[in-house]
Chain A
């Protein structure tokens, strides 16, 4: 392990610790029983198999979104339409499952594929708009998310809604398409394996294929990529489409694994969660499951804490925000970095002189 990797890990660990400490501080100020709340937050998920199951369940969608955004951001394109792509993935999965009759397994696979293709469409629009009109992807992708939300609400209310159900929910997704739990006592579903496969495949795609290499070169230095003969327009588009596809699949998998009906009437925030995951995983899909596990653990802990104490789950979004701020801050620990670099340089110098 070279000193740079070590430093990166140190930075991430320190950032997490500082973020947690600040959050604990807030809990101490606002809560009547801060110690119990913090203990619940940190150890709650370990107290029963079902609760640990909740962590793994929550981790599954986070892996998809983390890998998806890692691939999009690798091309240095801040496309934030993943949120909408995930949302539409869930919607299309519901629509597709309700309107097709296919044998088991094939039905699930076809449903997820359809979700992925629509996800691709959503992140593809800002990317295409940039190619054709040079529109800023950041703003157009954010607008896409709101458009998808209201479009999805429209479809839910007018096409998918089950009038017999009390709340605004779709008809029940057929059992043949849904994922059943693979570990009894939890709701962990086969989506876990799909998610882990996507992380590995995402890693292979980004780090072991020519096109992945071209995406990263384009992301690191557009001009250099252009002069090396890389078609940067095509490469950027590919990265956005692949990312959107993964987001869409994630939405589909989440729906088939965790829901009986489509119930999403507001944006779920997975697009934003993806940002913290890719920040922690340094845009490398292979590290995404670890980051997703961390975030899922924190989320589950917070939800347990909010049920048994007076602290609300939203405390975690503050923790998340601070982690992003610190991990991305280049100057954070920079003095320490200088020290390490100069010490190493001196060591090599002494070694050389000794020869």
Chain B
């Protein structure tokens, strides 16, 4: 029965849905990592922006204006992280942990102030990004059911894979980002300001993560609940790393984690133990990371003859 469920178009449709927030964050992680900074604050940025999305879309009476405002907020948090790491020389991991901590507390405080509740944003009339049916594609057998009737942000996340790929590999700025991440001193020696490039990378990283955050409360779910990022920012770090921090690689790994999440969502409805099924996305990430790192290690050992 489960096997049937997995190969059904409905499951693949759900997989794409569950992949979306992880994919945005994985792309965010890839850009930051390409510039040589680990953005562990993705978790906090997603949590913050999941809440901001609800508030902004309600304030502007528009899901799209809400999204734009949320992206600005996400970019700002990325910029702040960059400020602490680059200007004040704060350790990047500790700075990120601090931002994540602040996100945990501040989202509850803000939610409480705006809605009077500390758990869920029910009283805020947020507007979610709609799902759309794709003409023509929806009529293709099987594939139509997988690809059509997704949230607009899901389509945007797929487009972003291509956009980020072109950005990183076909534009001068992308080249500079990769150069700085590859060898900061060499990049500096040809006149690239590594500080400036990293400011830009972390800001873009924040913007991408905020789109994932927005999707969580305005598409995947229809409300904000406290702690709703639930480690997706951390999973995205793994997805980015395992995808070699390339957009396409990150996308493929995100799909795997999205499938684990979707499977977990389905199995929770069945007779399986709810708690054990919830472990699935995290176990997949852990095991996937282990296998990926192991093959990479072996390959390196073979190349260096050690």
Contacts and interface: CB of A to CB of B under 8 A. Distances in A.
Contacts of B108: 312, 314
B294 A143 contact: no
A305 B93 CA distance: 31
B301 to A, nearest CB: 10
Interface in B139-153: none
A324 B235 CA distance: 24
Contacts of A139: 234, 237-238, 241, 285, 289
B289 to A, nearest CB: 5
Nearest to B279: A150
A158 B100 CA distance: 32
A136 B95 contact: no
B88 A329 contact: yes
Contact of B94 (A26, A133, A324): A324
A189 to B, nearest CB: 28
Nearest to B118: A312
B234 A275 contact: no
A95 B231 CA distance: 27
Contacts of B241: 136, 139
Given A146-B282, A153-B275, A329-B88, A321 B290 contact: no
A48 interface: no
A282 to B, nearest CB: 13
A325 B84 CA distance: 7
Interface in A31-58: none
A146 B286 CA distance: 11
B273 A158 contact: yes
B99 A321 contact: yes
B102 interface: yes
Contacts of A308: none
Given A136-B289, A150-B276, A279 B94 contact: yes
B15 to A, nearest CB: 20
B88 A332 contact: yes
Contacts of B89: 329-331
B106 to A, nearest CB: 6
The A interface, classified by DSSP as helix, strand, loop or mixed, is helix
A317 interface: yes
A139 B89 CA distance: 23
Contacts of A330: 88-90
A346 B17 CA distance: 65
B12 to A, nearest CB: 25
B216 interface: no
A172 to B, nearest CB: 22
Please classify how large the interface on chain A is, using the bins under 10, 10 to 19, 20 to 34, 35 or more.
35 or more
B46 to A, nearest CB: 14
B112 interface: yes
Nearest to A334: B89
Contacts of B87: 331
A138 interface: yes
B276 A320 contact: no
A133 B101 contact: no
Interface string A243-282: 0000000000000000000000000010010011001000
A322 B102 CA distance: 8
Interface string B89-114: 11101110111111011101100110
A157 B275 contact: yes
Contacts of B88: 325, 329-332
Given A143-B286, A150-B278, A138 B40 contact: yes
B238 A318 contact: no
A317 B106 contact: yes
A186 to B, nearest CB: 27
A166 B128 CA distance: 37
Interface in A127-157: 129, 132-136, 138-140, 142-144, 146-147, 150-151, 153-154, 157
B122 interface: no
B113 A317 contact: no
A133 B231 CA distance: 23
B102 A321 contact: yes
Interface string B268-303: 000001011011001101100111111011000000
A330 B112 CA distance: 35
A315 interface: yes
Contacts of B283: 143, 147
Contact of A140 (B231, B290, B291, B294): B290
A143 B282 contact: yes
Given A129-B290, A132-B294, A332-B88, A146 B279 contact: yes
A135 B113 contact: no
B238 A143 contact: yes
A322 B98 contact: yes
A30 interface: yes
Nearest to B292: A135
Nearest to B86: A331
Given A279-B94, A320-B101, A331-B88, A150 B109 contact: no
16 contacts: A133-B293, A138-B38, A138-B40, A139-B285, A143-B282, A143-B286, A147-B279, A150-B278, A275-B94, A276-B101, A316-B105, A325-B84, A328-B94, A329-B84, A330-B89, A331-B89
Interface of A: 26, 30, 78, 129, 132-136, 138-140, 142-144, 146-147, 150-151, 153-154, 157-158, 269, 272, 275-276, 279, 312, 314-318, 320-322, 324-325, 328-332
Given A136-B241, A142-B234, A143-B286, 13 more contacts: A26-B109, A133-B293, A139-B237, A150-B278, A157-B275, A158-B273, A272-B101, A276-B101, A312-B108, A317-B101, A320-B101, A325-B98, A328-B90
Interface of B: 38, 40, 84, 87-91, 93-95, 97-102, 104-106, 108-109, 112-113, 118, 230-231, 234-235, 237-238, 241, 273, 275-276, 278-279, 282-283, 285-286, 289-294, 296-297
